[in-house]
């Protein structure tokens, strides 16, 4: 299969966006391994952490659209607007929900004395991202989209 056939098509955008998320999740695993010196396989499938795979995915999608359709196109403007909403949600709403979950977990631990199952189980705390995690994910997504775009171009030539 010649990956050059995807150059400047919608398939390029799809491949770039989904693979950016996958690669970012792998980076997140190794970043955690290096910083915390712990193996946590859940990082491949969970939200939160450094870098933001949400930001990488939507910014790589937007960048790929811009490279193919032009950075002055309506389609790019829509994609970029979508990216900003997702990144705002990751650093704002979901991060706040994670902080609330941590607070509720502490309250439940105090009330139920370590028996979280009686209260319905522990709430997930790592939901959102810090602004730095979102920024790093966005930068990675942009660079990754450029890299794959020129890789597809080289294979198409």
- pLDDT tens for 101-148 read 677 767 777 766 666 666 566 666 555 678 888 999 999 999 999 999
Q: Write the Ramachandran bin of 120: left for phi over 0, alpha for psi from -120 to 50, otherwise beta.
A: left
Q: Do residues 91 and 130 make contact, with C-beta atoms less than 8 angstroms apart?
A: yes
Structure tokens at 55: 């930001």
Domain spans of the chain, in order of start: 3-76+132-156
Per-residue pLDDT of 2-33, as tens digits, reads: 888 999 999 999 999 999 999 999 998 888 88
**Prediction pTM value:** 0.79
CA distances (Å), 28 to each of 7, 31, 94, 115, in order? Answer: 28, 5, 18, 31
Instruction: Give the integer Cα–Cα distance in Å for 83 and 86.
Output: 5
Per-residue pLDDT of 53-95, as tens digits, reads: 999 999 999 999 999 999 999 999 999 999 999 998 877 766 6
């Amino acid at each position: 299969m010649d990956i050059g056939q995807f150059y400047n098509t919608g398939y390029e955008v799809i491949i770039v966006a989904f693979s950016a998320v996958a690669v970012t999740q792998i980076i997140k695993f190794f970043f955690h391994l290096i910083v915390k010196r712990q193996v946590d396989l859940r990082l491949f499938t969970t939200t939160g952490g450094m870098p933001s795979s949400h930001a990488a995915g939507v910014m790589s999608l937007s960048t790929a659209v811009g490279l193919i359709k032009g950075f002055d196109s309506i389609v790019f403007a829509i994609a970029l607007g979508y990216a900003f909403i997702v990144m705002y949600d990751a650093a704002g709403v979901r991060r706040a929900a994670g902080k609330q979950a941590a607070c509720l977990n502490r309250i439940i631990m105090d009330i139920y004395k370590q028996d979280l199952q009686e209260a319905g189980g522990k709430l997930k705390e790592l939901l959102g991202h810090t602004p730095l995690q979102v920024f790093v994910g966005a930068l990675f997504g942009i660079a990754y989209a450029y890299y794959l775009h020129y890789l597809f171009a080289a294979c198409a030539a």
